[in-house]
Structure 1
Amino acid sequence: MRSELFFPFPSTSNPLPPMLPKEIKKPLRVIVSGGGTGGHIFPAIAIADELKRLVPRAEFLFVGAEGKMEMEKVPKAGYKIVGLPIRGLQRHNKLANLSFPFRLISSLIKSRSTIKNFKPDIVIGTGGYAGGPVLYAAAKMGVPTLIQEPNAFAGLANKWLGKHVDKICVAFPKMEKYFPKEKLVETGNPVRESMLEKAADLAAKKPAATSQFSVLLMGGSGGAKSMNEALRDNTEAIRARPQVQWKWQCGKHYYEDFSSCETARLDNVSISAFIDKMDDAYATADLVIGRAGSTTIAEIQYLGKPTILVPSPWVAEDHQTMNAKALTENDAAVLVADKDLQLDLIPTVFELADNPARREQLSSKAREMAQLGAVTRIAEEALALINLKTAES
C-alpha cells in the first residue's frame, strides 16, 4: 500500500496503531460492495457515509450486481456504482445456474480491472453475491479487505470470503464457528444513524396523546408475499378498527397485485411499493411489523420501536429466526411465524394496540439491546487496517 497515506479522525473506541505516516498526499479511496437486498445495501451506504464524515476527502466507488436494486439506491445516496454480471445460484431453477461459471469469471475479470483503475486503499463488503468477486480479487491483489457479517448465521458469500479477507466485523458472539477467530471483531450492525436520529427527533415532536394508532408494515426491500396476503385477506378486521392506521410497504414486485385489493382501498390503509422517507415512516409508527433481517433489527433497536418480527422461511439456514430469537428471548420483540400470519398477525397487532404497557416494555428491552456506534467502530476498523497495512509495507 502507498506509504504516504495518513487519515486523521476523531477516535471513539479503538485506538489506531502507533506507526503512522506523517502527511497527506492523496485522498482515501474506498471500494464498497453490498447488494441484492436493502439489508446489504443500506449498511454499505452507512459505512461509506461514516468514512466520509471521518475523512471528508475520501473518494468512493460502489460495486454491485447488474440489474439489482443497488444500481438504483446507491446513486440516490450520492455514490458512483459499477455493476458486475454476477448472479446468485438459483435453488428452484437449475438451468439458470448453467451460466454461473461464465458470469463469475467475467465478474472476476471486471473486478480486477476496476481495482486497477480505481486504486482503492481498502475494499469493504457487507454481504451479497456481488461482493464475492471484488473482495476476492482485492485480497489476491494485496489490497486491504474487510467484510461485515450482519447475521447470527453467516451468509454463503461471506463464509467463503472469510478465508481470504483481512478483517471480519460481526454483530453476534460465537461467530468463530464460521470465520477464523483471529480476524473477528464484534462491532454490531451499521445503521443509517443520521436517518434514525431524524426519525427520533420527528417522533419526539408528535402529539403526546392521539386516538389513532399507527402501524408500519414492511416486508423487506423486495416485499413479502405472505405478509401482503395477510392484510389482503383480513379486510373486515382492519376495517372494523378505523383508528388503527396502516402504512403498508408491499414491495415493487407486488404493488400491481395488491394495490387494487379491497384492503388497500380502505381509508385507514396507505399502500406503497417502497418507502424512501423511512425517517417519517419510523417517526409516525407506534408499532412496526417486519422481517427479521439484520438491518430491520438494528434499526428498531436503535429507535426502541415495539415490533412484531416475522422471520422469512426462505432465507439460508433459517437465519432470520435466529436473529429474531435474539430479541424475543430477551422480551424485546414479538414473533409471529410466517405460517401463522393469516390467523395471528391482525389479532396480535390489536392486542398490542390495546396494551401500551406491553409496548413500552418491548420498546425498553429493544433499546437496551442496541449496539450504538456500530458504524463508527466499523469505519475505525477499516482505517486502522489501512494504516496497519501501510506501516507493514
Structure 2
Amino acid sequence: MNKKIIIAGGGTGGHIFPAVAIANALRRMQPTIEILFVGAKGKMEMEKVPQAGYNIKGLDIAGFNRSSLIKNIGLPFKLIKSFWQVRSIIKTFQPDAVIGVGGYSSFPVLRFAQTQGIATFIHEANSFAGKSNILLGKNASKIFVATDGMEKFFPANKIMITGNPVRQNIVTNTISRKEGIEFFGLDPAKKTVFVTGGSLGAKGINEAVDAGIPAFTQNDVQLIWQTGKPYAEKASARAAENRNIWANSFITQMEYAYAAADIVISRAGAMSVAELCVVKKPVVFVPFPFAAEDHQTANAQNLVNKQAGLMVKDSEAKEKLVPTVIALARDEQQQHMLRENIGKLAITNADEVVAKEILRIISN
C-alpha cells in the first residue's frame, strides 16, 4: 500500500528548507509515497514548495499581530475557516501521518489529525520550543529535536535528537576557498568575512557593518555582504566605492559564500546554525532579539557554551560587532578552536534519520 503523508508549516526558509529535505528523504526511501504540503496563503511556502516539485494547499490563516492589535479583528474567523479547510483536506487526502515543521499552518493541521487518531510528528528546529509545538507535543507520536535539553518542553519518552536537515548542496559542497573568492571577484590574500542576516536581511547587523567599513579596510579585511532588500541600495553604493566589498540583497549560491568565508557574521536562526556547523566556520552570532520566545539567543548561547561560536547582542552590535570580528580575524588560534568545536556539532543526515523513523512507526 502506498503511504500518504501531509507536511504542514512554513512562513520562513527556516521552516520550509527542512520540510522539503524531509520530503525528499521520504521519497528516496519510498519512491511511491504520496506527499502533500499544507501552508499559509500568501507566505513563502506557496512559491518555494512547488519549485521543489511538491503539491501544496493554502489555508486562510494568519498569526497574531503584536504590533497592530486592530489587524487581529478577523483572526477568529480565519482560524475557524482554516479548521474547515483542514478538515476537508484531511478527509479527502486521508494521510497515514502528518508532520508539522512550525509556522501558522502547522497547528490546525496537526490538531485536527490528532482528533482523528492519525499519527503526528513534530520537527522542532530551535533550542527553545514554540508554544503551539509544546501544546501539540502531548499527543504527538514522536518529536524530532535539534539539540539536547528539550525535556523541559516535551515528554521525554517522545523526543528523538536528530539535528536539523541541511540543504543537500551545502552538505556536499566541494568548492575551494580560492573558487569561492574568485566567484565574488575578491582578493585571495585577504581575510574574508561573510555577512548574512538571513533571506530578509538584518537591520542591526547591516548598520554595524556599514559603520565599520573603514575599520575593515584598515585591517585588510574584505566583505561578502548579503544585505536583504531593505538595505541593498545603501550597501551597493558602499561596494561601488570600495574594492574590498561585494554586496547584494540575496545570495542564491550560498555554497560559494561559505567556501570563501574565513569568518561569518550571522543571525542565529535554527537553519543558519545547522548550516554553519556543517561548513565549520568561525561565527559571530547576532541573534534577532524579537524572535518568538527569544529563541535565537537560546540557539546562539547553546553554541557559545560549547566554545563553538561568539555572540554579540543586537542592541550592542554598533559598538561591539566590528571590533569583535577584527580581533577574531587576527587570532588564528581562536579561529581554529571555533572551527573545530562547531564542526563537532555538524549533522549531515538529519533528513534521513527523521524519514526513517516516520516510516518505521507508520509501517508497524
TM-score, structure 2 as length reference: 0.91
After superposition, the C-alpha distances for 1:270-316 in whole angstroms (9 at most, x for unaligned) are 22222222222222222111111111111111221111111111112
Letter in 2 for 1:295: M
1:363 pairs with 2:339: yes
Letter in 1 for 2:171: E
1:247 paired residue among 224, 228, 231: 224
- Offset of 1:224 from its aligned partner? 1.1
Number of the residue aligned with 1:186: 161
After superposition, the C-alpha distances for 1:124-143 in whole angstroms (9 at most, x for unaligned) are 11111121111112222232
- Offset of 1:177 from its aligned partner? 2.0
1:87 pairs with 2:62: yes
Number of the residue aligned with 1:196: 170
2:17 paired residue among 1, 26, 42: 42
1:3-22 paired onto structure 2 within 5 Å: 5=1
1:385 paired residue among 358, 361, 364: 361
How many residue pairs get aligned? The number is 359
1:114 pairs with 2:89: yes
- The answer to whether the Cα contact below 8 Å between 2:201 and 2:231 also exists between their aligned partners in 1 is no
**Against the structure 1 CA distance between its residues 105 and 29, is the aligned structure 2 distance closer, same or farther, given a 3 Å change threshold?**
same
Deviates more, 1:179-188 or 1:254-263: 254-263
Number of the residue aligned with 1:233: 211
Letter in 2 for 1:364: E
1:113-152 paired onto structure 2 within 5 Å: 113-152=88-127
- The answer to whether the Cα contact below 8 Å between 1:40 and 1:127 also exists between their aligned partners in 2 is yes
Using the aligned pairs only, state the percent identity. Answer: 45
1:298 paired residue among 274, 278, 302: 274
1:54 pairs with 2:32: no
Q: Any unmatched runs of 5+ in structure 1?
A: 6-25, 389-393
- Offset of 1:150 from its aligned partner? 1.4
- The answer to whether the Cα contact below 8 Å between 2:124 and 2:133 also exists between their aligned partners in 1 is yes
Number of the residue aligned with 1:214: 192
Number of the residue aligned with 2:327: 351
Letter in 2 for 1:203: S
**Against the structure 1 CA distance between its residues 111 and 258, is the aligned structure 2 distance closer, same or farther, given a 3 Å change threshold?**
farther
After superposition, the C-alpha distances for 1:8-36 in whole angstroms (9 at most, x for unaligned) are xxxxxxxxxxxxxxxxxx3x322212311
SS of structure 1 residue aligned to 2:175: helix
- Offset of 1:83 from its aligned partner? 1.7
- Offset of 1:202 from its aligned partner? 1.0
Number of the residue aligned with 1:30: 5
Distance 1:198 1:265 in 2: 36
Distance 1:166 1:226 in 2: 40
Distance 1:246 1:57 in 2: 46
Number of the residue aligned with 2:150: 175
- Offset of 1:216 from its aligned partner? 1.5
Letter in 1 for 2:113: A
- The answer to whether the Cα contact below 8 Å between 1:213 and 1:286 also exists between their aligned partners in 2 is yes
Q: Any unmatched runs of 5+ in structure 2?
A: 182-186
- The answer to whether the Cα contact below 8 Å between 1:291 and 1:310 also exists between their aligned partners in 2 is yes
TM-score, structure 1 as length reference: 0.85
Letter in 2 for 1:230: A
Letter in 1 for 2:15: H
- The answer to whether the Cα contact below 8 Å between 2:283 and 2:310 also exists between their aligned partners in 1 is yes
Where do 4+ consecutive residues of structure 1 move more than 4 Å?
A: 204-209
Distance 1:281 1:76 in 2: 23
1:104 paired residue among 58, 69, 79: 79
Cα-Cα RMSD:
2.2
Deviates more, 1:367-376 or 1:340-349: 367-376
- The answer to whether the Cα contact below 8 Å between 1:228 and 1:258 also exists between their aligned partners in 2 is no
